[in-house]
Amino acid sequence: MIPQYASALLISDLHLTPSMPLTAQRFFDFCEKEAPKVEAVFILGDLFEYWIGDDAAASSPFQQEVQRAIASLSTKVKTYYLHGNRDFLIGKSFIKKTGMTLLSDPSAVEIASQKWVLAHGDALCTADTGYQVFRNWVRKPWIQKIFLGLPLNWRKGIAHHLRSNSHNQYQATQRSESHQRKMDVTQQACAAVLREQSGDRLIHGHTHMPAHHEELMGTQTWQRWVLSDWDLDHPESLRPRASALLIDSAGVRYLDLIKH
């Protein structure tokens, strides 16, 4: 039986890091103010900018603060987590300490008497074949075991290197329309996952392009909602961003968390 709730808030791609204090503070406020007003909260990946192992959290005051905020929220509402491409190494220890429930990607849930398929979104970007090869390798348990067995400073160095490459790629994507198409989800992938889950409503993050889409491929139709990333610390490059998707008996709508 899939989880069933009358109301829920869904967020993703906060990329929390100590270098983005305004974004982090808005998440702490969200946990105290908006989140307790619904029956369930779903975090669809990339809560953190990167995650190099649950053991690293013990030496990070910032990650400890995030852990406490989520643990407090979990005592008020049911809180779910789904791995992103930046924090897929979040493990059982962190999940247990926060009180969250880990979901597989994708997962089906029922909110406001309707079925929804939830995903982070990176697995749906099938036009980016290079990334999909990389994703397949780093999700292998034996590769993760080797990485988590490395000394903590080695893991930090690898993470910083990958973050730098990702940032450069993102900057190139912003300049090129063809790159943007390549980095977006494909209709074929969306259609396939919805057929597998027997659903016609998909919610995902990852692409940082929030919008509601009504899509068609052959005889298959579906609706797709894309969640926003959060960034309140770099307004000089792009407008401040922070929103959640609210689903309840009144329908589906984006909740602007900047104005609240």
Cis peptide before 18 (omega within 30 of 0): no
Count CB-CB contacts under 10 A for residue 84.
25
**Using CA atoms, how far apart are residues 120 and 116, in angstroms rounded to an integer?**
13
Residues 6 or more apart whose Cβ sits within 8 Å of residue 140: none
Q: What is the mean pLDDT of residues 119-136?
A: 94
pLDDT of amino acid 179? 57
Q: What is the mean pLDDT of residues 45-65?
A: 92
DSSP letter at 16? B
Backbone angles phi, psi at 29, to 5 degrees: -65, -40
Percentage of residues in the chain having pLDDT higher than 70: 91
Indicate if the pLDDT at residue 237 is higher than 80: no
pLDDT of amino acid 167? 52
Backbone angles phi, psi at 117, to 5 degrees: -105, 125
Q: What is the mean pLDDT of residues 83-97?
A: 95
Residue pointed to by tokens 């905020």: 69
**Using CA atoms, how far apart are residues 149 and 155, in angstroms rounded to an integer?**
9
Task: Give the pLDDT band of residue 165 (cuts 50, 70, 90).
Answer: low
Calculate the alpha carbon distances from 243 to 13, 99, 199, 257 in Å: 10, 23, 24, 5
The average confidence (pLDDT) of the chain is 91
Indicate if the pLDDT at residue 158 is higher than 70: yes
Tens digit of each residue's pLDDT (9 = 90 or more) over 73-82: 999 999 999 9
pLDDT of amino acid 44? 98
**Using CA atoms, how far apart are residues 213 and 206, in angstroms rounded to an integer?**
15
Question: What amino acid is encoded at 91 in this protein?
Answer: G
Rg (CA), the chain: 18
pLDDT of amino acid 112? 97
pLDDT of amino acid 58? 84
Report which of residues 183 and 229 the model is more confident about.
Answer: 229
What domain count does the chain have?
1
Instruction: Provide the domain limits for residue 135.
Output: 4-256
Percentage of residues in the chain having pLDDT higher than 90: 80
Report which of residues 233 and 160 the model is more confident about.
Answer: 233
Calculate the alpha carbon distances from 194 to 56, 187, 221 in Å: 36, 11, 10
Q: Are 201 and 223 in contact (CB under 8 A)?
A: yes
| Kind plus residue range of the DSSP H or E element containing 42 | strand 40-43
**Using CA atoms, how far apart are residues 18 and 62, in angstroms rounded to an integer?**
6
Structure tokens at 95: 């999940």
Q: Are 153 and 56 in contact (CB under 8 A)?
A: no
Tens digit of each residue's pLDDT (9 = 90 or more) over 217-233: 999 999 999 999 999 99
Q: What is the mean pLDDT of residues 150-157?
A: 90
**Using CA atoms, how far apart are residues 29 and 141, in angstroms rounded to an integer?**
35
Indicate if the pLDDT at residue 166 is higher than 70: no
pLDDT of amino acid 75? 97
| Kind plus residue range of the DSSP H or E element containing 253 | strand 251-256
pLDDT of amino acid 181? 65
Task: Give the pLDDT band of residue 161 (cuts 50, 70, 90).
Answer: confident
What CATH number is associated with residue 13? 3.60.21.10
Beta strands 78-82; 101-103: pairing state: parallel
Task: Give the pLDDT band of residue 234 (cuts 50, 70, 90).
Answer: confident
